[in-house]
Each structure stands twice: as structure tokens, then as C-alpha cells.
A and B are shown apart, each in its own frame.
Chain A
């Protein structure tokens, strides 16, 4: 995954080495909570700005649109965990998460509530549900979570879900922040957050008890601590990608964008000191959209609309934008 932490992030490297000798359950719990306190995305600059009321409507929409991809990965991840479990009591408990997110009928459940949030912030629900404009960095982070669970045992998979222990609190703060700073978001949109203030602590209690009971050796305790850290990194990486994707882009002031007889029809040249970049029609179209009013996210959204049949618009726009940033054709506007 992208993994690069923003400025102002908590300590970067891994902290939790396996304890030298087995910890008592209370000690392990304290260590797990310390990981959350230090590394959960409540400290991420983008989240801090959201809760301080500093996000523009566009930034908020970018987050809602992209975070929906994470929501869609949760039932997949929980299905993988169910497939690993052999204890009927565990499965009876864990299957509730599928019902929470998918509902028991169409029009119910967490995914549906997130789409209502999307509508409340002014997004088109079908566009969000279609996932064509998900930023590749967000996609990588969320896929990394499913891959982690697929590649690790039940204990580590459950440990990775313990971010739920911090989710109830972040949801309470978020609801308050939305009511106060983003009154234009209809309260119907906040129902997902409200349901999570109940569900997350309940789920976390079960998960924590399971981890404390099964992680008895120092080696196993080291693995669960690392699993929770890894999950925090994934959530952090998701917000990194959202934050980066919402930074406005523009054609660098030094660049001269012009027609050229050697360029393909509709294309042109981006001329810089000492070099020039030949553009095809799509490249030029993207550069002309990069007028300082939108970031990678906005470019992806607009190009996905303009190319309804195309596959992987987000990946292609992302790769193109990165290359143009590298060449100095594009720059961040602020």
C-alpha cells in the first residue's frame, strides 16, 4: 500500500516488538489501547480537519465517496474471518457483522446508510456505489485489509478488527462535528455514524475478549499487537490517499500548453524549460481540467463521467497525474 504518512502523523516505524515474556491480560489490553491511542486515524490531519469543520464540501465529498469502498470491503473481510472460524459460538456472534453492514433486506444495513450519507453530502448514490471513481491509493489500502485477513490466522484477523474499540468515540465526535460545522448535511445522512456508536463498542468487546483469551504466549501477543498496528496503518493510508486526492492540482505556471503539428488530433504539447511533453487528446483534456479547482479525486470523477464505458479510469488518471507531477507539468495549487 501507499503507506507514506502525512506530516504530523504519529511515530512512523513499528513500535510493538513481541513482549519478552507473556503479558497478563490487563497488560496486553493496555498495550493494545496504547496502539490505538497513538496510531488510530483519529489523529490523522485530514480527520482532525474534518472534525474541526475545516473541510470544504468537495473534500468532504471526496472522503465520503472513497470511504464507501472501505465499507464494501468490510463484509468481505468478515466473510473471510467467518471462513476461518471453527467455533459455532464465534460464528453466531461474528455473522451479526454481515447483517449489520449488508442488512437483512434490500435498503437496510450499513452500506445502505453510507449511500444515504453520500446523498446527504450531494453525491449521486449510483455513482458512489459504482466505485469507478475510487482513488487507487484508497483501493490499495482497503484491499490490503482484506489481503491481511486472508493471509493471517483468526487471532490476528480479529486483532486487526480491534480498531472498533476506538470507533465508538470517533463516531460520537464526528456526529457532533457534522451537526456543528456541516449543517448542510441532512441528519438522515448521519445515521450510519449513529448506528456505529452502538455496534462498534459491542463488537469490540467481543473481539477484545477473544484476543485476550487466545493470545497467551509472548509470541502470539506480539502478533496481535502488530496486527492492530498494521490495521491502523491501513486506515491511515486511506486518509493519506483521500487527503492527497483532494489537494487541488493545476498546470504549473511555467508550462506552456499549446497545439502542435506533431501531436495526435486533439492533443498538443506541454512545453517546459529544456523539454516538452507530447500529449494525446485525453492527456490534454485532463490537463485542461486541472485548473486549480479540483484535485486527483475531482479529475477521476470527471473523467469517469466523460468515459462511461472505460475500465480503470481511476488507475489511468492516477498514473498520468503522477507522471505529470514528476515531470513538473502539474503542481499542487496550494
Chain B
């Protein structure tokens, strides 16, 4: 098959982050991933991505503003013709460097909001930065940048959907992403604390419908696939639109793809982005439909959900090539039902937060280490 056109690049600039969210989408072994791409490496990756047809780049992490060279990286993204979008927690240096980022070509900002109050934020992320985040959001709007708020939803904050919407309206966000936790990595470990109780989602969905009817803001509300009975169209299909570049240069089809053993991904440092996207064996492992078996092969939903999430299939069945067990048509769907049942047992545990950051980030030998992950 011909390689699909790359449309979106996720640049995970660093895994460092002052927050310790219990649903963090970084890999469980994030602390061992070396941060070895410099601004010039990113510049080269952005140019190649633009050449492949990429339109957007999400400058993400970890917390991307933890990188001192972020202004240069933003400039490199804009210079390559990419639409530079910052995905940030809005803490630390973020507020101070925002004007410079805008001057260097930043186009839009997504700010994460863990909860509407300090207590909730501390429960899920270890600390609250409420005032800091609000100041940051206001600054984004003052600078005329489009603002997206992103709130990851779980058992403890699902009942506060209306307050999230009110906050988003007050801050002048044009879009609010109410993203239900997807249960991978840290979130899968914490499912006992995070998975919504029966009824919570329907209540939240009703509030969302009311708030959407009021207009004035775009509200995205995605059901968690474990409860929806339908698989999510993970990343819009494996290696189909989006490439994720890790801090160590490894190019992946999604944030979590290294959780599947035996897949060989390549690094931009060694091979350049084009080869990593088009030729890396791991990137091609689940591209298109050739890998599909029943019930995905021949299913009329396969063009919509692309067979769901490969990482989830592996995590719950040990085989990344079976249908996503989140799908009610999967013979492995009972595994999801069991997981749900266990996760809803009382008493509800406290979440285990993501560990503190590894302090050393660019030890020599980083590239060799990243390659050792491939086989």
C-alpha cells in the first residue's frame, strides 16, 4: 500500500513535568527516555514533516515550556509552515515566555485544567496551580491567540462538567475538550480510582447537551471506549494521519505504541522523519487493513474505527493484532466487562500519581538506549 499522508505531528519535546497526573499519557517508563533532540533536530523533523504534507504540530510533552529552547523550536515549526499549537499545563515559565512564543510564530494554545478547585487538582495531579493557570489563560486571550481548554474527566470530576464549561466560557476559550480518561499506562493502573460509576457519564452527557445548545463555545465530549461498547478510532488510524515524536527521537503512531513489545520504530536522529514515517516496520505493522482478522476484517465499521486501539488490544489480551476488546463485537469483550467490574469495586482507592521526574535528562548514550527499545 502507499503510505498515507502525514497530516499531524505531535512533538513530545520533553517528558519533564511539574504535574503528576494519575492519568498521564506518557509511557510508564518515561523517566528512562532520554531527551536527546535539540532544537536543530526538531527543525529538521518539522521541515520533513511539512514536506510530507503535515499541517499542524502539537508542541507537547510532558510540559513543553520546561524546555529553555522552546522559542527556537516554535520558530522552527512556524518557519517550516506548520501550524504551531502549544499543549501546556500553563505553569512555571509558561506565562512569562508566552509573548515571545507568539512573536516566534505560535498560533494557538491548549491549556490543561485538572479540576475546578484546588482540592480536586491536588487529588489527581499532586498539586494545584489554579491561579497560575487562570492568569495564563487570560494572557493567551490578551495576546489574541485561540485558546482551547482540555479537561481529562474521571470519577471524581465528572460531576463538575458544568463548572468546567462555565470556567471555559469565563476564560474566553473557543473550545473545551472534555476528554474522558483513556485507560492506558498510568490511567490503566489507576482505573480503580478513575473509572466512572454507572450513571455518571449519562449525567455529564446531558449537561454537555444543554451547554452545547447554549452555544458560544465548541464542546468536545468523548465517551471512554471501555464504557461505550465501541472502540475509539485511535489516532485516526495507526500511522494514518499522525506521527508522535518522542523526546528521544523515536517516531510512533501513538503515545503508547512502545507498550507493544516486538515493534521496531526508528528515530529521527538516525533515519530522518520521512523514513521513520514511511518505512519503519512498527509504523507499518498495523497500517491499513491487511492485519485485520475477524471480526474487524469485513466489518462495516472498520473505515470508521480502524479496528480501535492496538495498545489496548495488547494490554487486555496479550495480542496486539486482535480486535480492540472495547468493541462489543470482539470475542475478548468479556475482558473489558471484567475490568470494569473490578474497577468499580468499593472502596474506591486513592490514585497513584505519576512518579517525580528523573532529574538527568540528556545522559550520553541516549540514542543507543532508545534503539535498544526497538527489538
The listed residue (A254, A261, A269) touching B108 by CB distance below 8 A is A254
B5 with A256: CB separation less than 8 A: no
A262 with B85: CB separation less than 8 A: no
Q: Is residue B331 within 8 Å, beta carbon to beta carbon, of the partner chain?
A: no
Q: Using Cβ atoms and an 8 Å threshold, which residues of chain B touch A272?
A: 83
- Taking the closest CB of chain B, its distance from the CB of A327, in whole angstroms, is 12
Q: Is residue B146 within 8 Å, beta carbon to beta carbon, of the partner chain?
A: yes
Q: Which residue of B lies closest to A253 (CB)?
A: B144
- Main SS at interface, chain B: loop
A276 with B55: CB separation less than 8 A: yes
Q: Using Cβ atoms and an 8 Å threshold, which residues of chain B touch A308?
A: none
The listed residue (A262, A269, A273) touching B107 by CB distance below 8 A is A273
Give Cα A273–Cα B82 distance, bound, in whole angstroms.
11
B81 with A258: CB separation less than 8 A: yes
What range describes how many residues of A lie at the interface?
Answer: 10 to 19
Q: Which residue of A lies closest to B220 (CB)?
A: A274
Q: Is residue A260 within 8 Å, beta carbon to beta carbon, of the partner chain?
A: yes
Q: Is residue A98 within 8 Å, beta carbon to beta carbon, of the partner chain?
A: no
**Which of A253, A254, A256, A274 has its CB near the most chain B CB atoms (within 10 A)?**
A274
Q: Mark A252-277, 1 if CB is under 8 A from B, else 0.
A: 01101010111000000101111010
- Taking the closest CB of chain B, its distance from the CB of A256, in whole angstroms, is 5
Q: Is residue B56 within 8 Å, beta carbon to beta carbon, of the partner chain?
A: yes
A271 with B144: CB separation less than 8 A: no
Q: A262-B5, A262-B53 are in contact. Are A273 and B144 (CB under 8 A)?
A: no
Q: Mark B134-154, 1 if CB is under 8 A from A, else 0.
A: 000000000011101000000
Q: Mark A76-105, 1 if CB is under 8 A from B, else 0.
A: 000000000000000000000000000000
Which residues in window 30-54 of B have CB below 8 A to A?
53
Q: Is residue B232 within 8 Å, beta carbon to beta carbon, of the partner chain?
A: no
Q: Is residue B175 within 8 Å, beta carbon to beta carbon, of the partner chain?
A: yes
- Taking the closest CB of chain B, its distance from the CB of A255, in whole angstroms, is 9
Q: Which residue of A lies closest to B53 (CB)?
A: A261
B55 with A273: CB separation less than 8 A: no
The listed residue (B144, B145, B175) touching A274 by CB distance below 8 A is B175
- Taking the closest CB of chain A, its distance from the CB of B176, in whole angstroms, is 12
Q: Using Cβ atoms and an 8 Å threshold, which residues of chain A touch B83?
A: 256, 271-273, 276
B85 with A273: CB separation less than 8 A: yes
Give Cα A273–Cα B81 distance, bound, in whole angstroms.
14
Give Cα A269–Cα B56 distance, bound, in whole angstroms.
11
B107 with A254: CB separation less than 8 A: yes
Give Cα A261–Cα B85 distance, bound, in whole angstroms.
22
Q: Using Cβ atoms and an 8 Å threshold, which residues of chain B touch A273?
A: 83, 85, 107-108, 146, 148, 174-175
B85 with A269: CB separation less than 8 A: no
Q: Using Cβ atoms and an 8 Å threshold, which residues of chain B touch A256?
A: 81, 83, 107
Q: A254-B146, A273-B146, A273-B148 are in contact. Are A260 and B55 (CB under 8 A)?
A: yes
- Taking the closest CB of chain B, its distance from the CB of A306, in whole angstroms, is 27
Give Cα A272–Cα B148 distance, bound, in whole angstroms.
12
Q: Using Cβ atoms and an 8 Å threshold, which residues of chain B touch A262?
A: 5, 53
Q: Using Cβ atoms and an 8 Å threshold, which residues of chain A touch B146?
A: 254, 273
Give Cα A273–Cα B174 distance, bound, in whole angstroms.
10
Q: Using Cβ atoms and an 8 Å threshold, which residues of chain A touch B7?
A: 276
- Taking the closest CB of chain A, its distance from the CB of B150, in whole angstroms, is 12
Which residues in window 264-310 of A have CB below 8 A to B?
269, 271-274, 276
Q: A253-B144, A254-B146, A256-B83 are in contact. Are A271 and B108 (CB under 8 A)?
A: no
Q: Which residue of A lies closest to B145 (CB)?
A: A254
Q: Mark B150-189, 1 if CB is under 8 A from A, else 0.
A: 0000000000000000000000001100000000000000
Q: Which residue of B lies closest to A263 (CB)?
A: B53
Give Cα A271–Cα B84 distance, bound, in whole angstroms.
10
Which residues in window 103-140 of B have CB below 8 A to A?
107-108
Q: Mark B44-88, 1 if CB is under 8 A from A, else 0.
A: 000000000101100000000000000000000000010101000
**A residues engaging B (CB < 8 A)?**
253-254, 256, 258, 260-262, 269, 271-274, 276
A253-B144, A273-B148 given; 6 more Cβ-contact pairs under 8 Å: A256-B83, A261-B5, A269-B55, A271-B56, A273-B85, A276-B56
User: Closest 6 interchain pairs by CB?
Assistant: A273-B108, A271-B83, A276-B55, A273-B146, A271-B55, A256-B83
| Listed A/B pairs (16) with beta-carbon separation below 8 Å | A253-B144, A254-B107, A254-B145, A254-B146, A256-B83, A260-B55, A261-B53, A262-B5, A269-B55, A271-B55, A271-B56, A271-B83, A273-B174, A273-B175, A276-B7, A276-B55
